[in-house]
A = this chain, B = another copy of it.
Amino acid sequence: MTDIIYWNGSFVSEREARIEPADRGFTLGDGVFDTMLAIDGEPVWGPEHSERLKAHAKILKIAFTLDIEATATVLLEKNSFKKGRYAIRTTVTRGPGERGLAPPETQHPTIIMRASPAPEAGKTVSAAIARSVRRNEHSPLSRIKSLNYGDNLLALLEAKERGADEAIMLNTAGNVCCASASNIFIKERGKFFTPPLEDGLLNGISRAKFMAEHKAAEESISEERLRAADAVKLTNSILGTRQVSGFKA
């Protein structure tokens, strides 16, 4: 069975959907996305994901209309994904454009939503602190889920080469930022700390939930402090809260 995806207003089999070669999401990373968990056919934290995706698109001045929760619910139904945990990825781009960086005057955003079985949540992982690349806290993109995931990908490739499951990224000032696809928390004498958004990290929805639940405080965190922490946790809507078992040299 071919999976059904949502594609610019229709539900179609994935092989029928087509991204144009001139789509600026493909050519320039000109778009944003969201990854939302669904359990037993129901989106989790739907309103938060919906609001955030719109806010992130606004940073790139992309306007679009989509009821994420309702669309995700129909998508799951159409795929008969009734029981279990699924990851719903929504991608919104500025749509096709002529060559060059300047956006077209009239925008026809591309909207894609796919559902995939979610990987196991709450795993324990080993980590490596990425040396080949740092996150750019001097860019608004460091605080949104844009299609520009190249830096995080380089960090993850390096971590895998060094034998670790995950990469911890520092920002250009050398402070701890996040993992390649998670926010980060450290525990010191029973209290949790996480870096502030200004340090160049995504305003993760599970980060906000974890902060509220554990009364975590925002503070810039040095690499030394990370290594000395009593515990290190990574939060991600799909992967849940992962514990870091240790750091690769």
Contact = CB atoms under 8 A, between A and B. Distances in A.
Interface in A124-171: 132-136, 138-141, 146-154, 156-157, 160
Contacts of A190: none
Contacts of A114: 21-22, 99
Contacts of A132: 140
Determine how many copies of this chain the complex contains: 2
Contacts of A21: 5, 7, 14, 17, 19, 91, 112, 114
A84 to B, nearest CB: 15
B147 A28 contact: yes
A28 to B, nearest CB: 4
A200 to B, nearest CB: 10
A127 to B, nearest CB: 14
Contacts of A151: 136, 139, 141, 148
A46 to B, nearest CB: 19
A101 interface: yes
Contacts of A156: 101-102
Given A134-B136, A151-B141, A156-B101, A26 B28 contact: no
A101 B152 contact: yes
Contacts of A7: 21
A52 interface: no
A3 B87 CA distance: 37
Given A18-B19, A23-B19, A25-B26, A98 B112 contact: no
Residue among A14, A28, A148, A153 with the most chain B CB within 10 A? A153
Interface of A: 5, 7, 14, 17-23, 25-30, 33, 35, 59-61, 87, 89, 91, 93, 98-103, 112, 114, 116, 119, 132-136, 138-141, 146-154, 156-157, 160, 172, 180-181
23 contacts: A5-B21, A7-B21, A17-B21, A18-B19, A25-B26, A29-B29, A30-B150, A35-B99, A59-B154, A60-B150, A89-B99, A98-B116, A103-B153, A133-B139, A134-B136, A136-B136, A136-B151, A139-B150, A140-B154, A141-B154, A146-B150, A147-B148, A147-B150
